[in-house]
Amino acid sequence: DAKTTQPPSMDCAEGRAANLPCNHSTISGNEYVYWYRQIHSQGPQYIIHGLKNNETNEMASLIITEDRKSSTLILPHATLRDTAVYYCIVPFSGSARQLTFGSGTQLTVLP
């Protein structure tokens, strides 16, 4: 997998937007960026993924820079239930069988 770098922790006030950054400077042209989150003692939950264009779904938005070397996951109105570890992953192109989770970012939403 292309190596990703995320801050170990972030805080966000409830109701505000949470912006989680990820660096993936070694990403190849056809590799996707995936975001998952894991709430303590639960399985990881898929959030969103993208290749080049910005993406939005009911959970979040994904902003990918033009050079694709970094991305930002945006939770537009964070709630206490969004407190979790967020993982940015770039699987090997040609092998989605491999999905290596690193340390991620612990997001804490504060009341």
Query: How many other β-carbons are positioned within 10 Å of the β-carbon of residue 87?
Result: 24
Answer yes or no whether residue 80 interacts with another protein by CB under 8 A. no
Q: What is the dihedral of CA 90, 109, 65, 43, to 10 degrees?
A: 20
Kindly tell me which of 32 and 74 has the beta carbon lying closer to another protein. 32
Cβ–Cβ < 8 Å for 9, 108: yes
Q: Which of residues 92-111 bind another protein (CB under 8 A)?
A: 93-104
How far out from the chain centre does Cα 35 lie? Answer: 4
Kindly tell me which of 62 and 91 has the beta carbon lying closer to another protein. 91
Answer yes or no whether residue 42 interacts with another protein by CB under 8 A. yes
**Total residues in contact with another protein, by rule CB under 8 A:** 23
Cβ–Cβ < 8 Å for 5, 103: no
Q: Which of 32, 59, 72, 106 binds another protein (CB under 8 A)?
A: 32
Q: Which residues bind another protein (CB under 8 A)?
A: 32, 34, 41-46, 49, 87, 91, 93-104
